[in-house]
Amino acid sequence: MKLQILKRGWVYVVLSVAAFISVFPFIWMLIGSTNTSAEILKGKTSLGEALTNNFTHLVEQVDLAMLFYNSAKIAVIATALTLVISSLAGYGFEIFKTKMSERVFALLLAMLSIPFAAIMIPLFISMAQLHLINTHAAVIIPTVASIFIIFYFRQATKSFPSELRDAARVDGLKEWQIFWHIYVPVMRSTYAAATIIIFMANWNNYLWPLIVLQTNETKTLTLQVASLLTAYTPDFGVVMVATTLATLPTLIIFFTLQKQFVQGLLGSVK
Amino acid sequence: MGTHNHTMAQAPISRRETLTGWLFTSPALILLGLFLLYPIIYSLTMSFQVGKGMNLSFGGFANVYRLTQDPVFLHALTNTFTLLVIQVPIMISLALLLAVTLNDTKLWGRSYFRTALFLPCVTSLVAYSVLFKSMFAIDGVVNSFLQTLHVISSPIPWLADPFWAKIVIILAITWRWTGYNMIFFLAALQNIDPSIYEAARIDGIPAWARFAKITLPALKPVVLFTTVTSTIGTLQLFDEVNNITVGGPADATLTLSLYIYNLSFKFMPSFGYAATVSYVIVVLVVILSFLQFLVARDRRST
């Protein structure tokens, strides 16, 4: 019995240390926003008085409203388009299976492991030829047909009751009406989970926007945080405030919709 | 319910329905053709071209030869491999350990621990780069913490030393992705029938043997999945090294993706050669995924 308690004790020690390490950087971020750059670099872990100063400096340097607008615009449009295009495809691949469509699907899965670095140069050249460099369309278009999300919707469609489809057909509904009026409402929790995953991925996206968005007017919040950080002498107080602002939306989504978020991650492997 | 649907869906479908199916998938397929398949092929042909900027001409295997003579490429390749070989096993074992610990239903505060461990996944790669870069400053919080604990006597030059810079990158990636991988292990653990453990316990099988004979075999597909995705992820490492260390010091954290970016968008663009380097990643992904599948299959048959 004593051994049991001792073993339990170790479990709590391990978990507490791991939880502390996981959470500490967030506390560091919040505390850092209130300290000066020098204090942050000296490792000060108590609240300071520089918050308003940091915020004022940030607002002087960058157009915060525009950055938020750009990030939100890209994330919202990309999420909406990805949901429509990828769920249509996932539904199509599962419901209308043929030998040929299964082969195409296998090819898609094989392409899932192609690293982004292998396509970014041709993609950049194509975007330049289409005169889309420095437009948000260039960021959005290549991401909306996501193999990962197509796969996710296909897996979810396996649990869509075929009786519903049969009944709708008897009632004379066309295929697109079945999709729009029956499938979408029935699968709303699947859509909710996918929305979170896609939105976060777009909000946090860095490499591709970095390549195609080179003007200040088109920059996203994430890009701005990176360029503040990689400046010759970064002001960490300012960077911390910017980082907090960039992380806040995803934190809020996480805490309000944690269950769907986890479900969304797991949906693709179940 | 699942099996019933399955048999219904697998009945041969009419030509009309086949066409409808393609209409559903065509928007995605057209986009993937234009913005994935075409670039993959384009970049393959580009890897046989030499020249600066857009003035490219056929160069045969000149780029492949250049790879073997390019010390920076070899450096980036070694760095990427070092990070991969050390980081992925550490992270997967850690994720597994935490998942097994958290799977105990009698554990107090279980959901709080799970939430805390999962929290790092919400940060953008850029955001957590900010945090790690500032925490690992020479007089920063990590050094002063370690000094208070008397683990070290003088501050470690984390970001200024080639060895320690790699360690910071490994710590950073492990922080960001362990909780993410743990979630997959937790889900798989919850699918194991608890009565199997109960029976084993009654038979007097010790805890470590239960872990080795019941838990591990059941988790094999998840271990494979997380290892393959983590390998692909680490092979593509870019955001962290570009923001925490900018590939330095002395190229110690230069990765293949960062080198491709530098070749294409930082220096005088050398698209053909950059495409060749990118195909090195493709080849590595294919070989490593294949090896991991082989290992997984081998273990399954024995």
CA distance B175 to chain A (A): 7
- Domain locations along chain A: 70-230
Chain A partners of B54 at a C-beta cutoff of 8 Å? 125
* Dist CA B157 CA B137 (whole Å): 8
* Dist CA B18 CA B25 (whole Å): 11
**What's the predicted TM-score (pTM) here?**
0.87
The pLDDT-based confidence of B302 (bands split at 50, 70, 90) is very low
**B120 to chain A: closest CA residue:** A22
The answer to whether A229 contacts B118, with C-beta atoms less than 8 Å apart, is: no
* Dist CA A213 CA B62 (whole Å): 32
CA distance A151 to chain B (A): 12
Chain B partners of A85 at a C-beta cutoff of 8 Å? 27-28, 31
The pLDDT-based confidence of B4 (bands split at 50, 70, 90) is very low
Average pLDDT per run of 10 along chain A, which is 270 residues long? 65 92 94 92 88 92 93 96 96 93 91 84 92 95 92 89 88 90 90 88 91 93 91 89 93 84 64
Amino acid at position B181, single letter? N
Quick one: fold of B70-301? MetI-like fold (1.10.3720)
Chain A partners of B20 at a C-beta cutoff of 8 Å? 92, 96, 175
* Angle between helix B71-102 and helix B216-235 axes, rounded to 10 deg: 150
Q: For residue A238, with 0-12 CB atoms within 10 Å meaning exposed, 13-18 middle and 19 or more buried, which class applies?
A: buried
Q: Tell which residue, A72, A117, A110, A182, has the closest CA to residue B274.
A: A117
* Dist CA B33 CA B38 (whole Å): 6
Q: Tell which residue, A201, A17, A20, A32, has the closest CA to residue B123.
A: A201
Whether residue A154 contacts residue A181, with contact meaning beta carbons closer than 8 Å, is answered with no
CA distance A159 to chain B (A): 6
The answer to whether A43 contacts B10, with C-beta atoms less than 8 Å apart, is: no
Phi, psi of B58 (to 5 degrees): -65, 130
In the numeric block, the tokens 């928007």 are attached to B27
State the count of interchain CB pairs (< 8 A) between A and B: 294
Give which of A4, A17, A96 to mutate to test B binding, by max B Cβ within 10 Å.
A96
Identify the pLDDT of residue B254. 94
Size of chain A in residues: 270
Chain A partners of B177 at a C-beta cutoff of 8 Å? none
* Dist CA A145 CA A132 (whole Å): 18
- Non-local CB neighbours of B191 within 8 Å, separated by 6+ positions: B218
Residue B189 has pLDDT above 70, yes or no: yes
pLDDT in tens, B139-179: 889 999 999 898 888 889 999 999 999 999 999 999 999 99
Q: Tell which residue, A116, A113, A108, has the closest CA to residue A145.
A: A108
Greatest C-alpha distance within chain B = 76
**Residue among B4, B35, B260 minimizing CB distance to A123:** B35
Chain A partners of B97 at a C-beta cutoff of 8 Å? 14
- Domain locations along chain B: 70-301
Residues A245-251: contacts with CB under 8 Å, at least 24 apart: A245/A64, A245/A68, A245/A221, A246/A71, A246/A221, A246/A222, A246/B124, A246/B126, A246/B127, A247/A29, A247/B122, A247/B123, A247/B124, A247/B127, A249/A203, A250/A200, A250/A203, A250/A204, A250/B122, A250/B123, A250/B124, A251/B122
Alpha carbon distances (Å) from B153 to B142, B143, B147, B159, B163: 13, 10, 6, 18, 18
Chain A partners of B243 at a C-beta cutoff of 8 Å? 226, 229-230
Give the pair of three-digit tokens for residue B66: 């250049």
- Secondary structure (3-state) at B48: coil
**Residue among A108, A122, A239 minimizing CB distance to B46:** A122
Q: Choose the weakest-confidence range: A118-127, B45-54, B237-246.
A: B45-54
Identify the pLDDT of residue A268. 54
Q: For residue B168, with 0-12 CB atoms within 10 Å meaning exposed, 13-18 middle and 19 or more buried, which class applies?
A: buried
Q: Tell which residue, A17, A43, A47, A16, has the closest CA to residue A30.
A: A47
Q: Tell which residue, A176, A128, A257, has the closest CA to residue B21.
A: A176
The answer to whether A222 contacts B98, with C-beta atoms less than 8 Å apart, is: no
The mean per-residue pLDDT over the stretch B217-227 comes to 87
**CATH fourth-level superfamily of A70-230:** MetI-like (1.10.3720.10)
Residue B6 has pLDDT above 80, yes or no: no
- Non-local CB neighbours of B2 within 8 Å, separated by 6+ positions: A158, A159
Sign of the Cα torsion A50, A56, A61, A65 reads positive
The answer to whether A142 contacts B132, with C-beta atoms less than 8 Å apart, is: no
* Dist CA B43 CA B276 (whole Å): 8
**B95 to chain A: closest CA residue:** A18
- Non-local CB neighbours of B185 within 8 Å, separated by 6+ positions: B95, B96, B99, B100, B219, B222, B226
Q: Report ipTM for this prediction.
A: 0.88
**Residue among B5, B122, B275 minimizing CB distance to A251:** B122
CA distance A89 to chain B (A): 4
Give which of A206, A241, A245 to mutate to test B binding, by max B Cβ within 10 Å.
A206
Helices H, strands E: what count in chain A?
16, 0
